[in-house]
Structures are given as C-alpha cells and as structure tokens.
C-alpha cells in the first residue's frame, strides 16, 4: 500500500501539471462555448508560439542554474534592428543573421562576466538588459518602424506550412530541437550536469564555464530570434515590442519545472507551461474576464508551482 502511494505521488509529481492542464481545459470546454473548436485550438497554439520560442531560450540558462533578465530587451533590440536593416535596403537573410549574432554577443558577454569575473547572473543580465533597452531607444529614437517588408521575410510570421501557420510550425520545431538537444546530446547532458551539481561536474572534467556561456548564449539567441519573428508577424517594430514576455516566460519555465523532472527545467515542460498560460488567457478572454484577473491567476500559478517544487525537493532530500 505504501509503495502504491509512493508511486501515485511520483506520478503526480511528474505529470501533475499536465493533469491540471487537462482538467482546466475540460472546465473551459464545458462552460465556454466555442473553446474546443479547431479554430480556437489553433488560435491558442498561434498565441503561444512566440512565448514558447523565447521561453525555450530562457529555459537553457535555467538548466545550468543561472538566471537571465535581459531576454525581453534583447528581443526588442533584435526586432527593431532587423526592421531598420531591412528598411535600409539590406538583404533579409543578412539582416536576420546580424541580429542573431547580436543576440549571441549579449549572451557570450553575460556568460563571460558570470563565469570569469564572478558577477551573479542576476546582476549581469539585469545590467545587460538595461544596456539593450538603451540601445534600442538609441537606434529607434523612441519611434516605431513601419514600412513595406519583403514578402519572404513576412512569411516567417504570417505564412503557412500547409494548413498550419508558420509560427506554430516554428514553435514545434524549436521545442522538439531543444528537447532532443538537452536529452540526447553530450552538450545537453553536460549542461544538465552543470546545473545539477557544478562542483561534481568540474571534478569529473566537465568545462562548466563553457556550458554556462553556451546556455546563456542560447538564451539570448532565442530572444533575438523571437524579436525577428515578432517583427515578421507584425510587419513593424516597436522599441518595447517584446517587453510583455517577461512574466509569461517566467511562468512557463517555472511551470515546466513541475513536468517530468520535478524541480528541473526542461524544454518539454516549458512548452506545457506555455500551453497552460495560453489556455488560461484564451479561456478567460472568451469568458469575458478582465485582463487583471488573468494576471492574478498567472501569478497564483507561479507561486503554486514554485511551492510545489520546493516541497517536493525537500521531501526527496529527506527534509
């Protein structure tokens, strides 16, 4: 009987968030007409596509035990920069590559400051985020960029792969690639080891500094890619276009830490977390709930997920 109870608790620890998502979806299905329509389901996935992409990047720094507060501003900078370069006559492909390189540079610099100088990732990325925010205002002079963009670039955010919007297809590819990278590649396993126990990993010969720099670079590249996709989706760029991703990305990644591996960030869990946020936003919007109720609900979910992770970690540690 005790073994069965332990098995049930273990299953709830690994799949409780997925079960909660299923229950929440069923509640909306019963009480909100139109929630379960195919078009609305596609809308949910479309609405969370950019959130998922940027959150998958943020998850990488969490995996190695670091934190990044700069990614929304890096995304806004990338979105403005790609628009400015394209409107200036540059090839969209070259403009995209430059913006991804700028994102990588932010991540590399932050990683070097964390690993070689010893500044905490919280302080480092807070400062680099402020720098990115200043740079986007310096570049845009505080105004939005509007104009005619090449059709090929707009297909990133507005096109379709068969009947599926391109943003949904990109999201699914990013989630799958991130999960495969973390679960099945040597670099991914070393990143997990670095986050789980950096001292033991160093003693085992793992270059933990390198993998922290790699993870923080991936976070910033993910942010830059999201900014590019946002500009392609809107056909314009705003100096604060990606500012709203901060809270929902935190919520998605923290919820993801309660999926599959309790207390550890993972790409699939982050996707489930983003889907939970999308279902809440969509269902409450269809129900006519004001936006602040959505914020209250998401805040409560963050607290619950962190508390659940903390309680489970203490239990596993025998505390």
Query: Which of 49 and 280 is assigned the larger pLDDT?
Result: 49
User: b/e for 264-294, b at 16 or more Cβ within 10 A?
Assistant: bbbbbbbbbbbbbbbbbbbbbebeeeeeeeb
How do the domains of the chain map onto residue ranges? 17-24+32-314
Is 51 within 8 Å of 278 (Cβ atoms)? yes
Structure tokens at 318: 């025998």
pLDDT of 311 reads: 65
pLDDT for 130 beyond 70: yes
Q: 12 pLDDT exceeds 70?
A: no
Between CA 165 and CA 118 the distance in angstroms is 43
Distance of CA 240 to the CA centre of its chain: 17
| Model pLDDT, residue 140 | 93
Burial of 75-111, coded b for 16+ CB within 10 Å and e otherwise, reads: bbbbbbbbbbbbeeeeebeebbebbbebbbebbbbbb
CA atoms within 13 A on the CB side of 137: 8
**142 to 71, 105, 135, 238: CA distances (angstroms):** 19, 23, 10, 8
User: How many whole angstroms separate alpha carbon 155 and alpha carbon 87?
Assistant: 17
Mean pLDDT computed over every residue of the chain: 89
Nearest to 280 by CA among 271, 269, 289: 289
Cβ(232)–Cβ(53) below 8 Å: no
pTM of the predicted structure, to 2 decimals: 0.91
The encoded tokens of residue 161 equal 């792969």
Element (H, E) at 92: helix 92-112
The answer, yes or no, to whether residue 152 has pLDDT greater than 70, is yes
pLDDT value at residue 198:
92
pLDDT, residue 261, reads 66
Q: What is the mean pLDDT of residues 82-96?
A: 95
If you average pLDDT over residues 11-22, what whole number do you get?
70
Give the model's pLDDT for residue 288.
84
Choice among 66-80, 210-224, 263-277, 305-319 with the minimum mean pLDDT? 305-319
Considering only residues 16 and 224, tell me which one the structure prediction assigns the higher pLDDT. 224
pLDDT of residue 17: 74
Share of residues in the chain with pLDDT > 90 (%): 66
Candidate CATH numbers 1.20.1180, 3.40.190, 1.10.3470, 3.30.70; the one for domain 17-24+32-314: 1.10.3470
Q: How far apart are CA 273 and CA 256, in angstroms?
A: 5
Per-residue confidence band for 69, with pLDDT thresholds at 50, 70 and 90: very high
Question: What are 236's strand-pairing partners?
Answer: 146
Identify which has the larger pLDDT, 23 or 213. Answer: 213
Percent of the chain, pLDDT > 70? 89
What does the alpha-carbon distance between residue 254 and residue 275 come to, in Å, rounded to a whole number? Answer: 13
Residue 64: phi, psi to the nearest 5?
-90, 10
């Amino acid at each position: 009987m005790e073994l069965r109870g332990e098995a049930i608790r273990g299953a709830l620890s690994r799949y409780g968030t997925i079960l909660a998502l299923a229950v929440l979806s069923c509640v909306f299905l019963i009480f909100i007409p139109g929630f379960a329509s195919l078009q609305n389901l596609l809308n949910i996935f479309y609405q969370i596509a950019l959130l998922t992409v940027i959150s998958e990047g943020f998850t990488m720094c969490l995996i190695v035990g670091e934190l990044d507060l700069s990614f929304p501003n890096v995304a806004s900078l990338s979105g403005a920069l790609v628009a400015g370069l394209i409107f200036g006559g540059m090839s969209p492909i070259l403009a995209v590559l430059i913006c991804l390189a700028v994102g990588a540079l932010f991540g590399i610099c932050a990683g070097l400051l964390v690993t070689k100088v010893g500044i905490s990732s919280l302080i480092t990325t807070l400062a680099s985020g402020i720098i990115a925010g200043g740079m986007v205002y310096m570049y845009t002079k505080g105004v939005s960029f509007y104009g005619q963009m090449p059709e090929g670039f707009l297909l990133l955010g507005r096109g379709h792969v068969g009947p599926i919007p391109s943003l949904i297809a990109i999201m699914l590819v990013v989630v799958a690639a991130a999960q495969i990278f973390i679960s099945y590649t040597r670099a991914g396993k070393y990143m997990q080891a670095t986050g789980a126990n950096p001292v033991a990993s160093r003693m085992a010969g793992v270059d933990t500094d390198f993998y922290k720099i790699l993870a923080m670079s991936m976070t910033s590249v993910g942010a830059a890619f999201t900014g590019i996709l946002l500009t392609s989706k809107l056909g314009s760029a705003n100096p604060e276009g990606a500012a709203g991703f901060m809270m929902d990305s935190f919520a998605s990644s923290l919820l993801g830490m309660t999926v599959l591996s309790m207390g550890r960030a993972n790409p699939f869990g982050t996707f489930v977390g983003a889907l939970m946020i999308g279902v809440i936003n969509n269902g409450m919007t269809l129900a006519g709930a004001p936006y602040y109720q959505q914020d209250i609900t998401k805040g409560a979910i963050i607290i619950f997920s962190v508390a659940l992770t903390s309680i489970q970690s203490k239990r596993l540690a025998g505390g």
